[in-house]
Amino acid sequence: MLKKKMFPKKKKTFSVVMVLFLILLLPVLITGCVEKNLINDPATGEITPPNNLQPLLDGKYTTSTRFYDTRGYAQQLDLNIKNGIITEVTFKEISMNSIDRLTQEGEAKTWDGVGTMTLGSLYYRMYSDLLLTQDPDKIEAISGATQTHERFIELAKAGIEQAVKGNHEPGKIKTSDTYIIRSQIDPDGYQGVLTATFKGDTLITLSYDEIRLEDGKSKSKLLDVENNVNYKAIFGTFAQDTLISQNLNPVFPEGELSPEKLKYSETLRILKDYRNSFQN
């Protein structure tokens, strides 16, 4: 009960003072914390970081991802620097509908692979490691929460780079994302499946197929001899044209389109929606 009063479940901002207080009262919850401790000067009470860190300039620094990820969330990290150390951290995952993920009810609050640990608990673990070590590279990995963990580290590194320079302009980071997009199911039971990987702004790989949900059969493996149609070649051409153009607008001229072209165009439109830039 004491832990819930000290750290409300939905509180998203943590300070170095709170973390040090936790260490003093509840050392059994954090192992090996001797090497992680920031140092309190017994004479002045000031907290100083380890000696091997870059000097940081005081102020607030904000970094965020440039695009929404495969789950439809963008991430934003705020760092407060005081007396050259990180004293406060705020991390948010924001949906395309501007909803903070931490406020979501149901499955969105619990991560697969980590039992009953809530999203707020995962955030707290990352906050604690960053405040204690002052070093994103020393944040411990969290099984089952790889994507959020990696984004937190990337944003923390970018924020620290800003703090070293004293650059208070909001920063954006480029990320690598793989999206799997599915179209509506056609009357024959086939669904278009588009897999696209971006590295920063660049679309680096793209594949497309149509899968029959009933039995998982791939249309690219079919050859319509009667109509001389090679679906694998057709789908390959669709994907290659999009890769070359780096344009997520449909690649076909206006007019009557085949069912395959319609489904491919649909997946491109959905992908384009996911790749909207995050405005914070």
The pTM assigned to this predicted structure is: 0.75
Question: Which helix (H) or strand (E) segment is 83 a member of?
Answer: none
Residue among 144, 127, 145, 146 at smallest CA distance from 136: 127
Instruction: Give Cβ neighbours of residue 272 (< 8 Å, ≥ 6 apart).
Output: 248, 249
The first and second tokens of residue 228, run together, are 């001389």
The pLDDT score that the predictor gives to residue 54 is 78
The domain 177-274 having CATH identifier 3.40.50.300: the answer here is: no
Residue the block writes with tokens 């300039």: 57
Query: Using the 8-state DSSP alphabet, how is residue 100 labeled?
Result: B
CATH architecture of 2-173: Alpha-Beta Complex (3.90)
Report CA-CA distances (Å) from 26 to 6, 16, 20, 102, 188.
12, 15, 10, 25, 61
Whether 278 and 64 have beta carbons less than 8 Å apart is answered as yes
**C-alpha to C-alpha distance for 117 and 196, rounded to whole angstroms:** 31
Print pLDDT tens along the chain (280 aa). 333 334 344 445 666 555 544 443 333 333 333 345 565 666 666 666 666 677 899 999 999 999 999 888 999 999 999 989 999 999 999 999 999 998 875 555 555 555 556 788 888 889 999 998 899 998 888 776 788 899 999 999 999 999 999 999 999 999 999 999 999 999 999 999 999 999 999 999 999 999 999 999 999 998 776 778 899 999 999 999 999 999 998 778 777 788 899 999 999 999 998 888 888 7
- Token code pair at residue 70: 């495969």
- Give the pLDDT confidence score for residue 227 in this predicted structure: 76
- Cross-strand partners of 13: 90
The residues spanned by each domain of the chain are 2-173, 177-274
Q: Does the fold of domain 177-274 match that of domain 2-173?
A: yes
Residue 7's pLDDT is 39
